[in-house]
Structures are given as C-alpha cells and as structure tokens.
C-alpha cells in the first residue's frame, strides 16, 4: 500500500493549485484524476484562452447560502497573486474589452494550454505525483485515509477533495465529492446548473429558433438582479453572457424581464420618431437601434396589423404598449440546458461545515474540500477560477 502525506482527488484548477502549494512545503503529494487528462476544464475555458481571473474580485460576485464564507480565502490569495504567478511564467495576457468597456476579465493571449502548462510545471518543481485515469471507489478513515482506487490501495494523512461539480460531465465532473461529504456527516445543498442557457417551448422556441445567431446588448432582470450584457438567440432559447449570469439566480417557473433598448427612453424615442418621421414605418425606425431580423420577428408578434401603417397613423396607445414591451419584455423560460452546457454547479457542500481559513471539514479532521464542490459559485468572468486558486492555496498551506 502506497502512503502519502496528501492525496488530492481531482486534477483540475483547484486540485493542481493545491498540489504544488502543499508540495512546496515538502509534503509528499499525489493527485488522482478520473479522466484521461488533467485540467480539461481549463483547456476549454474562455473559448480556449482561459479567463483565469478578474481585476475586480469582490464577494458580491459569488452565489452562496453564506455570502461571507469566501471572503477569507479571496483576501489572502488575491487576483494579484495569481497574476504574479502568470507573469513569473512569462505568459502573455490581456484584459478583454466589450466595445469601449472593460470588465476586468483577463485572458491568455495565446492559449489556455499556457495556464495548464504553468500549473503542471509548478507541480513538477514541487515533486507532485500525478495519476490520470484513476477512479476512487471508497475513502475510509484508517489512521488517516485509506483509499480503494482503480490503481490499488492508497493511504494519506490528509485528503483534499477537488472533484468539481456536475457541470459538463464530459470533462470529468462527478458527484463524488458530495457523496463523500455526506459520508462524513456534512450537509449538501440542493444542486442545480448555473451559468447556463435558458430553454423555451411553444411560440417562443419557434421565434428564438428563427433568430438563432442574432446577438445584442440588453438589460436582463429577475427579482433584484439585473445584468447589462449581450444576449444570444439560439435554436433552443437564449444564451449569451447576460443570460448565463442571470441563470444563477433564476428560479424555475418564474418570469424574466428583458429591456431590448436599455440605452433609450423608448417611449420618448417612438414619440419623437412619429413627429420627425411621420411617413416611416415602425420597423424602419426600430432598425436604427435593433437588428433588422429581430425587428421583423417582433413586428409579426407585437404589431402585425400595423406593419404597413405610417407612424403618423399609429395610435398613441399602440406606441405606449410597444414601448412597454420593448423595455419590459416578460418571458418565462421552460428550463435550462442543464449540466451538459453549464459552466458551474450551484449549491454543494454547506460552508457552515467548513473552515473558511483552511477549507478543512469541521466534522472530520484532515479532510478538505476546495473549488466548485463547495457551495460557492462565481459570476461569469474569471471569478470561479479565482475561487479555485484561493480555496486551493488556503488548503495547500496547511495540509
């Protein structure tokens, strides 16, 4: 039976970061990854360029039943610490711009492979042992932890669970970490897909399918949450950054609200157009600010009998109603695309059962949980990676 100081289950962002942090302290570390490659989620992130952190990391960018839990780790290992590591490895990066707006999202200039290579290089320098294609079957207490795995029986003084969530199962995610937490008396909140596209049925599905590929900036809202970013119409419904952000807060069966023209006082715009362009059609003035394909679809939906009516002849009540629809479009998603395309898993291990300083379980000494498996989910834009790095370092410094 092989013995280690630390065994880490999961070879993604959090697992690799924790591994070399512990290895640098002289600990004998083994990382077990169930898939055939390490860091698969890193490689596909950010369109292949890895949005590895954000310049504006704040606790309110995280979804959790305990919004204060993430503060300790994020304040002790900051975005600037990870940026310093990236620069140490001479990885070229840039802040993504959205038109003239920047939101602090940092991406590799070249490829996500650069970030994975950096983590693997640090692991090599710290003499971390890495094993892929390894399934962990059981993890029992035995003067430490005794693991039965597909490569044999292993023993560790400390066990770190970095197995991720249920999102994108083809990249190696699983429910192992949640089951292990329950095994040791920890509470697990209900799980659901987050940062995920909405799906629709019936008339809206047909409409959105026809608009597939059309994108535009909007304000999209649910309850007290609003996001000002792009939406993208798809064959199944709505996607794009604004939709993904809102999906982490939306509750099934509830309406969302879309302002298609957030930069305009829509009613004032339509009234002015009626005065200044009386012979124009509604679709003509709206295509000044909205994609033509979208305007034609909305025309059939909202003002079919006024298609060929000059603005001068359009009743004021019609303009009032149209302004309301354009700025407060009420939509009810039938659901989401689920874990298949979700970027994160919402819910997870109750952080009340975890030390915010060390990530150690309060119910079982020397058992640690880091990254996505915990009930901490970040917004789109590099926040989940920063949580992975910070929670990994918090555990790696003490295991």
**pLDDT at residue 2 in the model:** 94
Q: What is the reported pLDDT for 32?
A: 98
The string of pLDDT tens digits covering residues 33-91 is 999 999 999 999 999 999 999 999 999 999 999 999 999 999 999 999 999 999 999 99
Phi-psi region of 305 (alpha: psi -120 to 50; beta: other; left: phi over 0): alpha
Domain membership flag for residue 18:
yes
Count of domains forming the chain? 3
Residue 235 lies in a domain: yes
What sign for the dihedral angle of Cα 270, 276, 278, 284? negative
Rounded to an integer, the average pLDDT of 199-216 is 97
pLDDT in tens, 170-196: 776 789 999 999 999 999 999 999 999
Tell me what the pLDDT averaged over the chain comes to: 96
- Give pLDDT, residue 173: 73
Local confidence band at 320 (pLDDT 50, 70, 90 cut-offs): very high
Q: In what order do the strands lie in the sheet with 51-54?
A: 51-54, 101-108, 93-98
Residue 100 confidence (pLDDT): 58
Q: State whether 283 and 184 are in the same domain.
A: no
Which carries the bigger pLDDT value, residue 174 or residue 302? Answer: 302
159 shares its domain with 20: yes
**One domain for residues 33 and 140:** yes
**Domain-ending residue, one of 320, 336, 352:** 336
- Is the same domain home to 139 and 8? yes
What's the CATH number where 189 sits? 3.50.50.60
Looking at per-residue pLDDT, the higher value among 168 and 55 belongs to 55
Query: Which sign, positive or negative, has the C-alpha torsion 269, 215, 57, 358?
Result: positive
**Token output for 165:** 């969530």
Looking at the structure, tell me whether residues 237 and 184 fall in a common domain: no
Q: What is the pLDDT of residues 87-134, one digit of tens each?
A: 999 999 999 987 656 789 999 999 999 999 999 999 999 999 999 999
Answer for the pair 360, 6: CB distance below 8 angstroms, yes or no: no
Among residues 306, 336, 366, the one where a domain terminates is 336
Could you say which of 336, 366, 384 is where a domain stops?
336
For residue 231, tell me if it sits in a domain: yes
The CATH number of whichever domain residue 214 belongs to comes to: 2.40.30.10
Q: Is residue 29 part of a domain?
A: yes
Q: Would you say residue 267 lies in a domain?
A: no
One domain for residues 149 and 78: yes
Q: Are residues 29 and 105 in the same domain?
A: yes
Its pTM surpasses 0.85: yes
First to last CA, the chain: 21
In a domain, 50, yes or no: yes
255 found inside a domain: yes
Residue 357 lies in a domain: yes
| Same domain (yes/no): 62, 173 | yes
Taking 70 as the threshold, does the pLDDT of residue 225 lie above it?
yes
Is 166 found in the same domain as 32?
yes
- One domain for residues 93 and 214: no
Q: Determine the pLDDT at residue 174.
A: 82
What proportion of the chain, given as a percentage, has pLDDT over 70? 99
| Long-range contact set of residues 288-292: C-beta below 8 Å, sequence gap at least 24 | 289/261, 289/264, 290/216, 290/260, 290/261, 291/214, 291/216
Q: Which residue range forms the structural domain that includes residue 231?
A: 198-261+331-336
Residues 46 and 90 in one domain: yes
Name the β-bridge partners of 101.
98
- Write down the pLDDT at residue 233: 98
Residue 60 and residue 8 share a domain: yes
């Amino acid at each position: 039976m092989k013995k280690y100081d630390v065994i880490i289950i999961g070879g993604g962002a959090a697992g690799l970061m924790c591994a070399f942090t512990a290895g640098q302290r002289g600990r004998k570390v083994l990382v077990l990854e169930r898939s055939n490659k390490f860091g698969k989620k890193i490689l596909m992130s950010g369109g292949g360029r890895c949005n590895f952190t954000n310049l504006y990391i704040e606790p309110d960018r995280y979804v959790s039943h305990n919004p204060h839990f993430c503060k300790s780790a994020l304040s002790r290992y900051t975005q600037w610490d990870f940026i310093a590591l990236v620069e140490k490895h001479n990885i070229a990066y840039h802040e993504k711009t959205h038109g003239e707006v920047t939101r602090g999202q940092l991406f590799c200039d070249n490829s996500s492979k650069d970030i994975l290579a950096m983590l693997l290089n640090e692991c090599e320098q710290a003499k971390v042992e890495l094993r892929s294609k390894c399934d962990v079957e059981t993890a029992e207490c035995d003067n430490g932890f005794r693991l039965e795995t597909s490569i044999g029986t292993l023993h560790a003084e400390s066990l770190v669970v970095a197995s991720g969530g249920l999102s994108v199962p083809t990249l190696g995610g699983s429910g192992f970490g949640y089951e292990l937490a329950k095994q040791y008396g920890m509470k697990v909140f209900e799980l659901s897909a987050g940062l995920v596209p909405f799906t629709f049925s019936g008339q809206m599905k047909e409409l959105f399918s026809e608009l597939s590929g059309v994108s535009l900036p909007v304000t999209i809202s649910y309850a007290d949450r609003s996001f000002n970013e792009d939406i993208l119409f798809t064959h199944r419904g709505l996607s794009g950054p604004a939709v993904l952000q809102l999906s982490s807060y939306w509750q099934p069966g509830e309406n969302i609200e879309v302002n298609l023209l957030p930069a305009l006082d829509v009613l004032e715009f339509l009234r002015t157009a009626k005065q200044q362009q009386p012979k124009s059609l509604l679709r003509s003035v709206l295509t000044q600010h909205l994609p033509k394909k979208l305007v034609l679809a909305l025309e059939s939906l909202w003002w079919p009998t006024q298609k060929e009516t000059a603005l001068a002849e359009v009743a004021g009540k019609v303009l009032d109603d149209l302004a309301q629809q354009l700025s407060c479009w009420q939509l009810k998603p039938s659901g989401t695309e689920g874990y298949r395309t979700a970027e994160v898993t919402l819910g997870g291990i109750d952080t009340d059962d975890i030390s915010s300083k060390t990530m150690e379980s309060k119910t079982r000494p020397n058992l640690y949980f880091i990254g996505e498996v915990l009930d901490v989910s970040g917004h789109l834009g590099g926040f989940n990676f920063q949580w992975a790095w910070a929670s990994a370092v918090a555990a790696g410094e003490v295991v």
